[in-house]
Chains A and B, each alone.
Chain A
Amino acid sequence: MAVIFEKTKGLTEATMHYCPGCTHGIIHRLVAEALVELGLLGKAVGLAPVGCAVFVYNYFNCDMAQAAHGRAPAVATGIKRARPDTIVFTYQGDGDLAAIGMAETIHAAARGENITIIFVNNAIYGMTGGQMAPTTLLGQVTQTSPYGRDVTTTGYPIRICEMLSTIDGATYVERVSVDTVKNVRKAKSAITKAFQTQAKGLGFSLVEIISSCPTNWGLTPTDSLDWMREHMLPVYPLGVFRDKTNCEASK
């Protein structure tokens, strides 16, 4: 029988624990496929965050460490400095990266740390049951913004890619989404380019992926994809925010 689709060897056989319709699983596969296709799986060292993806170390078929909440870019820095030949990546949610880990993120970028960050933005704290994240949209109802995110008391959503676009040390920063097949393909290209950036020694790369959380958004999986498109993409426009891969000499 002809094989038309295979599970990538970049993922283990472990059964994923994500909720039905959650797009974390798709993103895992894209990361794993990119590493395999670039021949980098054997060099890869991944960092699991604190968040729904904490068990990502059970899924990626490469060396992994589990970092404290928000600290993955600092731990990644330590690994990369100790072993420059490895391909070091973090996989972080928006609470992990944009709240508690903001300093570690910005400074890893500013240093031009030669690591790759996979940043999953689902506008909410998933694992702890749906609290407001720095990326939560204005008016969005969460457990800790039960009347909708109110700008007068909680301010505005943070746009990480836009912020990083001003950081000279960042080499490649792109925002993608996994709401349609077409966008999933684009997300894969972006992740691939991010790993290539690191493999060539060009410096810091971050791919932000707009992702869903059907459970805490209180929507069906398909409605979640619509919600991503209708509500998140206007606030978080897709595109390349910084690309110095052509002008940057090897560091």
Chain B
Amino acid sequence: MAAKVLMKGNEAVAEGALLAGCRHYFGYPITPQTEIAAYMAKKMPKLGGTFLQAESEVAAINMVIGASAAGVRTMTSSSSPGFALKSEGLSYLAGCDLPAVVVNIQRGGPGLGGIQPSQADYFHATKSAGHGDFHMLVLAPNSVQEMLDFTFDAFDLADKYRVTVAILADGTLGQMMEPVDTTSKILGPPVDKSWALTGTEEKRKPNLVSSLYLMPEELEATVFERYERYKLIETEEQRYERYLTDDADIVVVAYGATSRIAQNAIDAVRKEGIKAGLLRLITLWPFPKKPLHELAQRASVFVAAELSMGQMAGDVELAIRCQKPVITCHRTGGVIITPEELLQKIREAASMQSPAA
């Protein structure tokens, strides 16, 4: 059996990236994700890679653009206020169809907010990471092991679809320690990057990485092409986990650290005879609509549990086309939902059920 290593979530992210062959990290310090940079600063020189502490998050994401344009696996990480600054670069990455991995260990906002865990960058990550029509593929781990696994997978997904893959986690996941298996990772074959900027050696036509199209129809065509890829991602990559949903009347929808609290709450209410289950979202974009369509057929009430003012809840309502009531259980600003708060919400949901079921 593989020996496990005790790691912080942030370190697991960094290790996952290194295992995926990422040798170019660009970042800027911000709590609660700085351990990622510290880990990279320690390891990269020994691996012949680049750790660079940029002058700002804006510069860091633009360095990622450069490294990605040059054809290598590259990443940056930050926390909420820093992510706002990366928006410009996230949009250019999409416009240039460059693969990249970005990690947001969220903290409370808006503004400088606080340094405690939050999920209030859901809108930013899934809907509006920057200007223009584009999406990032967003993965939401809920354990330290998944911080490593998802970061590892993120590089493959980014290369496969030529998109930015975001790891959307929070301060809890970044800071907590759990045993992690770091051994079972096998790198796939390298993907074709003949579009990369490597110098022509005067043997081929120059390559160009650009997001500029002055002809509206040309620009529209690039967006249409990108949305074809997004459609493929939506059919191929919706990821989620169901927990006790087969007979559930009440379905709690949650992701990240909140999904672990939800699982405990469901175990507790089951003992009270309430048939509750959990749909744990793994991809936030593409949003797992498939399981929600199915669950909307039999469950009677949905509870959206999250550390924001209902940012994900709206997507749940949309996915089930408002066929069933969705009540929210949320805290924000760095306050975590307690199991008792969620228990109350589930009981409330149970009392809303039509008695004739």
Contact = CB atoms under 8 A, between A and B. Distances in A.
Interface centre among A44, A71, A107 (most CB of B within 10 A): A71
Nearest to A66: B210
Nearest to A55: B212
B199 A43 contact: yes
A86 to B, nearest CB: 5
Contacts of B182: none
Contacts of A41: 200, 202
Nearest to B63: A78
B26 A83 contact: no
A64 B96 CA distance: 12
A104 interface: yes
A233 B123 CA distance: 51
Most buried by B among A48, A74, A85, A111: A74
A60 B208 CA distance: 11
Nearest to A106: B55
Contacts of B199: 42-45, 62-63, 83, 85-87
Contacts of B309: none
Nearest to B52: A81
B94 interface: no
Contact of B64 (A44, A76, A78, A104): A78
B201 A42 contact: yes
Interface in A52-106: 54, 57, 60-68, 71, 74-83, 85-87, 103-104, 106
A78 B71 contact: no
Given A62-B199, A68-B89, A75-B66, A54 B59 contact: no
A111 B201 CA distance: 28
A74 to B, nearest CB: 4
B128 interface: no
B24 A81 contact: yes
B206 A61 contact: yes
Given A41-B202, A45-B199, A62-B206, A75 B63 contact: yes
* Interface size grouping (class) on chain A: 35 or more
Nearest to B49: A81
A193 B279 CA distance: 63
A79 B71 CA distance: 9
B98 to A, nearest CB: 9
Nearest to B71: A82
Contacts of B70: 45, 78-79, 82-83, 86
A64 B24 contact: no
Nearest to A86: B199
Interface in A132-184: none
A63 B55 contact: no
Interface in B54-85: 54-56, 58-60, 62-72, 74
Contacts of B54: 74, 107
A107 B201 contact: no
A67 B208 CA distance: 11
A107 B74 CA distance: 20
A12 to B, nearest CB: 8
A79 B69 contact: yes
B26 A78 contact: yes
A69 to B, nearest CB: 9
A60 B207 CA distance: 11
Nearest to B92: A68
A10 to B, nearest CB: 10
5 A-B pairs closest in CB distance: A78-B66, A74-B62, A66-B210, A82-B70, A78-B63
Given A60-B206, A66-B209, A107-B59, 8 more contacts: A42-B203, A68-B89, A74-B63, A77-B66, A78-B24, A79-B66, A80-B66, A82-B72
10 contacts: A41-B202, A43-B199, A44-B199, A45-B197, A57-B208, A65-B208, A68-B62, A78-B74, A81-B50, A85-B199
